[in-house]
Chains A and B, each alone.
Chain A
Amino acid sequence: MRPSSPSPKPGGDEAVRERIIGLGSGSARKSYYPQLKEKIRDLEAKQLELMETVRTLEERESELERLVDEKEALLKEVHHRVKNNFQIVGSLLNLGLGIASSSAEARAFAKTKRRIDVMAMVYGRLLATESFAELELCSLARSVVNALFYEAELREVALAYDLSCVDLRLDVERAIPFALILAEAAGNALEHAYPEGRGELAISLGFARDAPGSVRLAVEDDGPGPRSGGLPRSDSSLGLTLIDALAAQLKAAWRYERRAAGPGLRFVLELRP
């Protein structure tokens, strides 16, 4: 047991007495209210802060949306102008066609015009679908071949499609070479495979079963085949040179082969994954 020293009474007995009977400063009965008020104030400040953050984010989002809209409008405008330019070039070529001095010259104009039209078509489809990044391949293939087919006026040639294009899309950089290659192959068939004006042109497009991930395009006619007997090669015409160059752009392989069932030629393009 150790004696405790008397604790000093600050301010003396009178001050202690005042505080015990509740008259000292700060000796009021305490309340939760100030603490609650402070908590509520804190929460309200936090809520305001959060609302401000949300407002800022909303503003930023609508600004981004506005920018995206603006970009889309600009892109659309650019594509529109490109398409118009192609159409102007096409019209110029049309004029040239009208004043060509020889049939060979006229054919050259016509072929060039056809290529320009294909490129204009790609941009036309981009504008129509409003998807400026990618194009769906099957409908593009159908449009390209249909245009050539109706221009060729081969009423007794049947046109058959076997297109299976779930999720088959190409960006515009690659859609143009693809469309041009298809137009060259189909144009060649329509020009050379039906001397009698009869037969069938079969277009197939889809994932290759024997090469996983590869997309295979085939253009097959049932015509008499090459006159000289050899299969067309990359150096045998401007069209084939073009196909070769465009396929290289796509890092794709192409070939002509004989049709399996009877006479006729088959053009095959393989786009690797």
Chain B
Amino acid sequence: MEDGFVALRKFVAPEIIFGQGAMARCAEYAATFGASRPLIVSDEGVAAAGWAGRVESQLGDAGVDFTRFYDVSPNPRDAEVMAGAELFLRERCDMIIAVGGGSPMDCAKGIGAVATNGGHILDFEGVDNVPEPMPPLLCVPTTAGTSADLSQFAIILDLARRTKIAIISKGMVPDISLCDPETTVTMDAELSAETGMDALTHAFEAYASNASSPLTDLHALEATRLIAGSLALAVERPGDLAARSRMMMGSLMAGLAFSNASLGVVHAMAHAMGGLLDLPHGLCNALLLEHAVAFNCPAAPERYAALGEALLGRPLRGAGADEVADAVRGGLAALRRRIGLGERVELRPLPRHALSELAAMALADPCVVTNPRRPEAAEIEALYAAVLPVA
């Protein structure tokens, strides 16, 4: 691996406000960006929890008119992005405020890209394919996991192909992230667990990435420590604001790390699997991560040793690759079980050829290029077989 202190590196991040009361700054930022009609992008779940309404009333109190777009499903679809962009243009909106988890935020990014550049959202698939910057985008994340409020990634479900496409562009980095831990207390145990494991996977894959750097390492390791220490607490005691705050900070740091170091085989596989089977993204990551660690560890044992120390709180450096892999894998499995996530996806068994289709899609995903070990299709199929029922 190249020396991270010598190699040329870049670090991109939005303006971030973190802490209780952060979301109350919405109206102020609408004024800062000279917005006269923001489009609020959210979903019904977040609206039901009251967070979208909180943003609406803050804008209302400040005399800012807004337009709502709440028709976003989990794993946002290309058609939803296009409908949102059409609404944005028709209502002459001039800013986007995303309130929610990864789905509304990714949808909001897609809406912004289409509103400015025209064309179809699927045209922007891949890296650096968004030529013009989108309108000002402010995010209020309400889960501690996705980090779409920080990253250059937007994942959109191509419903026709039943696959998730990745749009990766510096222009997709939001302008403002208002991280208010209070918004995460309304998540139930399952969502808290899945999104938390998503954040942990971000930290792991960013740290193990072949594009990691000192700046991303710092965030990835600290994120691992914070998530390892607070995820189970946040799941078990949903109202524990201290645990929720640590989770949100962990998620934020993991987001900064992966947005700049990119990810690995877990995300490449989770995108394919989540798209084909319409599964929660966090769950896919949570189940795949420990198997991917075992696969990757021989290629970067020191990296996984450092991650294991952060995860387990005990020294691992100097241990052999197998020992590191076992320790980390065991720690991840223990955490997964403690927060109530199963061993495998509960589905009717899939035909054998579905695994090779998934593997092909995962190999085509841009996330795979920064994985520390270059996987073969058969290896990916084997990883899938560990978590998916096969006929």
**Residues in A lying within 8 Å of B, measured CB to CB:** 1-7, 9, 13-14, 16-17, 19-24, 26-32, 35
Contact = CB atoms under 8 A, between A and B. Distances in A.
A3 B374 CA distance: 22
Contact of A22 (B10, B132, B374): B10
A30 B10 contact: no
Contacts of A3: 357, 360-361
Contacts of B286: none
B45 interface: no
Interface string B263-283: 000000000000010000000
A124 to B, nearest CB: 70
A196 B364 CA distance: 130
Nearest to B353: A3
15 contacts: A4-B161, A4-B163, A4-B364, A9-B369, A16-B366, A17-B369, A20-B366, A21-B370, A22-B10, A22-B170, A26-B128, A27-B170, A30-B131, A32-B133, A35-B132
B170 A30 contact: yes
A54 to B, nearest CB: 31
A37 to B, nearest CB: 13
A225 to B, nearest CB: 90
B168 interface: yes
Given A9-B364, A31-B133, 14 more contacts: A2-B161, A3-B361, A4-B161, A4-B364, A6-B363, A9-B366, A16-B366, A19-B127, A19-B128, A20-B168, A21-B370, A23-B8, A24-B127, A27-B169
B361 A4 contact: yes
Given A2-B161, A30-B133, A20 B369 contact: yes
Nearest to B367: A20
A119 B162 CA distance: 102
B256 interface: no
A7 B10 contact: no
Given A5-B360, A6-B364, A29-B171, A20 B133 contact: no
A13 B369 CA distance: 5
Contacts of B261: 21
B125 interface: yes
A2 B133 CA distance: 34
A29 B173 contact: yes
A31 B130 CA distance: 12
B211 A20 contact: yes
Interface in B273-332: 276
A81 to B, nearest CB: 70
Given A3-B360, A27-B170, A21 B125 contact: no
Contacts of A4: 161-163, 357, 360-361, 364
Interface in B122-166: 125-128, 130-133, 161-163
- For A1, A14, A30, A35, the residue with the greatest tally of chain B CB atoms inside 10 Å of its CB is A30
Contacts of A28: 170
Contacts of A35: 132-133
Nearest to A19: B127
Given A4-B361, A9-B364, A22-B170, A17 B161 contact: no
Given A21-B260, A22-B12, A1 B369 contact: no
B132 A30 contact: yes
Given A1-B276, A6-B360, A6-B363, A17 B211 contact: yes
Interface string B12-28: 10000000000000000
Q: Is the interface of A mostly helix, strand, loop or mixed?
A: loop
Interface residues of B, number: 36
Contacts of A20: 127, 168, 211, 262, 366, 369-370
B212 to A, nearest CB: 9
B9 interface: yes
Nearest to B366: A16
Nearest to B357: A3
B341 to A, nearest CB: 26
Contacts of A17: 210-211, 262, 369-370
B242 to A, nearest CB: 34
B260 A24 contact: no
Interface in B218-262: 260-262
Nearest to B13: A29
Contacts of B126: 7
Nearest to A35: B132
A14 B366 CA distance: 11
Contacts of A22: 10, 12, 170, 260
A21 B262 contact: yes
Contacts of B169: 27
Contacts of B132: 30, 35
A99 B170 CA distance: 112
B68 to A, nearest CB: 25
A23 B7 CA distance: 11
Contact of A21 (B130, B211, B364): B211
A184 B127 CA distance: 103
A11 to B, nearest CB: 10
A5 B10 CA distance: 32
Interface in B365-391: 366, 368-370, 374
A27 B262 contact: no
Nearest to A31: B133
Interface string B67-94: 0000000000000000000000000000
